[in-house]
Structure 1
Amino acid sequence: MQRKIIIAGGGTGGHIFPAIAIANALKKIQPDTEILFVGAKGKMEMEKVPQAGYKIEGLEIAGFNRSNLFKNILLPFKIWKSLRDAKSIIRNFQPDAVVGVGGYASFPILRAAQKMNIPSLIQEQNSFAGKSNKILGKKARKICVAYDGMDKFFPADKLILTGNPVRNNITQSAVTKQDAVQHFGLSENRQTVFAVGGSLGAKSINEALQPLLETLVKKNIQLIWQTGKPFYETAKAAAAPYASHVKVYEFINVMDFAYKAADVVLSRAGALAIAELCVVRKPVIFVPYPFAAEDHQTSNAMNLVNKKAGLIIKNDAVQTELESVLFSLLQNKALMEQMEQHIGTLAHPNADMDIANEVLAIIR
């Protein structure tokens, strides 16, 4: 019997890539499953989802703007309209179940589905649940989570610890360290740092790295630097004198190569980044983005720091602390090995299939 499933959410790569991984897993289990994505108009899911081969409908919805309150004037109207549009999408598509992965479009679709008695499942990616998911959790059939201790946000009997889905090209990568280092035009005989700030880059990480380039090269350390678009030209100019040791990219598509080449990773603490780092088992220094909703990135990072599976530098301290934390970690072989072991125990390489099975289970 053919199943019809809506997957709702998006806004950032951190929501979209796991959503696509869940869709692919559903197709693997039941190839005739019909899947419709619902996203927010103007956000990156409207481009990324069709590229992955799935249909998507867009809602006219935005999040609460914390930095410019004036921009929230139309928000009540947008929420009302998106709830109305969500109802008509559900009526037209007639799904057997609805999955919410977080992000703006998640709320209207799940809210409408729950009112129409359609089974819903929430995939909560962070260690600190957002407001929307807390409201939706009361009526969801199942809530798939990536961290322990989530019963402070959700009914304990609905929780399933599945971890966050990671893209197949990372969980199933067969790339060797030698291939990876050569791919970036680097040397196998030097330590390598991989700095990444999510799909849009990280201003504070970029600005803290720039003055350290000369020291990195003096210590014979290599850097793979994903800057994001806004900082790319600045970083390229700064790195030009050190081209043998510092490779600058606006965006890296072959993340499995970058992880494999790295001895230490410098990263934001988004849910997707953490899930990937657990699978690839890399010593990591987190610089959480402090303006994420409910400061969930700090909460995500601390969950690992408390298990001796990562280090943390606060966003406003990265300028002054990065040099000492990074170089002392690179010199401490024992600590690096301990962090690799601890972060590896938190990996969930089959999260996509586990979540897909839970989705199908709420229909039966």
Structure 2
Amino acid sequence: MNLIFTGGGTGGHLVIALSLAETARSRGHTVMFIGSTSGQDRQWFANSTLFDEVHFLETTGVVNKSGFGKLAALWKVFKALLKSRSLIRSFHADAVVSVGGFSAAPASMAAVVSGTPLYIHEQNAVTGKLNRLLRPYARAFFSSYEEGDNHCDYPVNPRYFENARIRSEVKTVIFLGGSQGAKFINDLALEIAPWLHDKGIHIIHQCGLKEEDRVRAAYHEFGIEAEVYGFTTQIAELCERSDFAVSRSGASTLWELCAAKIPAFFIPFPYAAADHQYHNARYIIDHNAGWCERQSEGIILKLQEAIQSDIRAKSEALGKLIASNGAAHIIEKIEKDI
């Protein structure tokens, strides 16, 4: 098959495109990526050898614009739609697979108007506006939060499953603020660090490049030998050594922690679209497999209670929420459908 993957803007969407495309390529399919000149798409795939073709079209987000800015953004989407329709035809695409984000709009809509089967993967518990608009026209809709025919296991790097283990006590805590870091989580980590140190708990802290110097200096002043990373591609290896996580609840990070069976104290980013990070975390909480608290000044005591609680039960519960080979199952469903 000739498969086009589209979407992105942020790493959370792009890691899904990467996982699905790698799986499709390993099964002998030809793959193309259509993304945007905005966002992180080019950083991820401009020099990629994975795809047979990559195309970055001039688009920007629409929902965060107003007035003439929105009209200009829509005009760019329309022009990119026409280009995407041409690419679909020249590639003889059997299907277009959208992973969401504003980058997905042109190629996804082009698939609908050209009669090419469209498949959508929704990474969050709250369906994004674009995916809500296009869902009625899609051949299939994949979600890790819905039950029934639409349910799929989240595509997660196999390393998280390979290194998974049941945690029964906290010897190491990892703080995860995402690739850009999160000042609230950084400040929280520094506030609780002396308490963790007194209890002999090791600290791993991914703080973001902008905060790295400040965070390193603070630990040095405390006399605490924490592992600090501004940015790293070795999160899977760091997670393997961790017993408890304090993290934002973007979908990819949430499901990676789930696959590794690491109990997590989630602090959703309060300004995420449609508050989707909170609803992502609620899925884990509703299955009694973690903790979720809004950003607040009284959060330290709740975090201390969680770290000292029975984490084994949470770790065991996480292992029941996700299975490996999520990407393979999605590609298999597309193969059977085409």
- TM score, norm. by length of structure 1: 0.85
**Correspondences of 1:44-123 after superposition (within 5 Å):** 44-49=40-45, 50-51=47-48, 53-54=50-51, 55-64=53-62, 66=64, 72=70, 74-123=72-121
Provide closer, same or farther for how the CA distance between residues 337 and 351 of structure 1 changes in structure 2, counting only shifts above 3 A. same
**Partner Cα separation in structure 2 for residue 249 and residue 342 of structure 1:** 29
How many residues align? The count is: 335
Q: Which SS does the other structure have where 2:333 is aligned?
A: helix
| 1:232 counterpart = 2:232 | no
Q: Deviations over 1:133-168 (max 9, x none)?
A: 01111111111111125xxxxxx7xx4211210013
Provide closer, same or farther for how the CA distance between residues 41 and 262 of structure 1 changes in structure 2, counting only shifts above 3 A. same
| 1:39 counterpart = 2:42 | no
Provide closer, same or farther for how the CA distance between residues 217 and 71 of structure 1 changes in structure 2, counting only shifts above 3 A. farther
Paired letter, 2:232:
I
Aligned to 2:177: 197
CA contact (8 A) 2:289 2:317 kept: yes
Provide closer, same or farther for how the CA distance between residues 52 and 349 of structure 1 changes in structure 2, counting only shifts above 3 A. farther
Paired letter, 1:342:
A
Paired letter, 2:253:
A
Aligned to 2:335: 360
How far is 1:78 from its partner?
A: 2.0
Taking only aligned residues, the RMSD between alpha carbons, in angstroms, comes to: 2.4
Alignment identity in percent?
A: 29
Aligned to 1:140: 138
How far is 1:47 from its partner?
A: 2.3
Provide closer, same or farther for how the CA distance between residues 119 and 67 of structure 1 changes in structure 2, counting only shifts above 3 A. closer
Q: Deviations over 1:40-82 (max 9, x none)?
A: 1132221222346323211211113649888546322222222
**Partner Cα separation in structure 2 for residue 69 and residue 201 of structure 1:** 32
Q: Which SS does the other structure have where 1:349 is aligned?
A: coil
CA contact (8 A) 1:305 1:311 kept: yes
Gaps of 5+ in 1: 150-155, 178-188
CA contact (8 A) 2:2 2:92 kept: yes
Paired letter, 2:173:
V
Q: Which SS does the other structure have where 2:102 is aligned?
A: coil
Paired letter, 1:139:
Y
| 1:283 counterpart = 2:263 | yes
How far is 1:328 from its partner?
A: 1.7
Aligned to 1:313: 293
| 1:350 counterpart = 2:325 | yes
**Correspondences of 1:242-281 after superposition (within 5 Å):** 242=222, 244-281=224-261
How far is 1:221 from its partner?
A: 1.9
Residue from 292, 304, 316 that aligns with 2:284: 304
Paired letter, 1:39:
G
Paired letter, 1:250:
G
Residue from 113, 126, 129 that aligns with 1:128: 126
Paired letter, 2:228:
V
Provide closer, same or farther for how the CA distance between residues 35 and 194 of structure 1 changes in structure 2, counting only shifts above 3 A. same
CA contact (8 A) 2:6 2:104 kept: yes
Gaps of 5+ in 2: none
**Partner Cα separation in structure 1 for residue 217 and residue 71 of structure 2:** 41
How far is 1:361 from its partner?
A: 2.2
CA contact (8 A) 2:3 2:93 kept: yes
Runs of 4+ residues deviating >4 angstroms = 67-73
Aligned to 1:328: 305
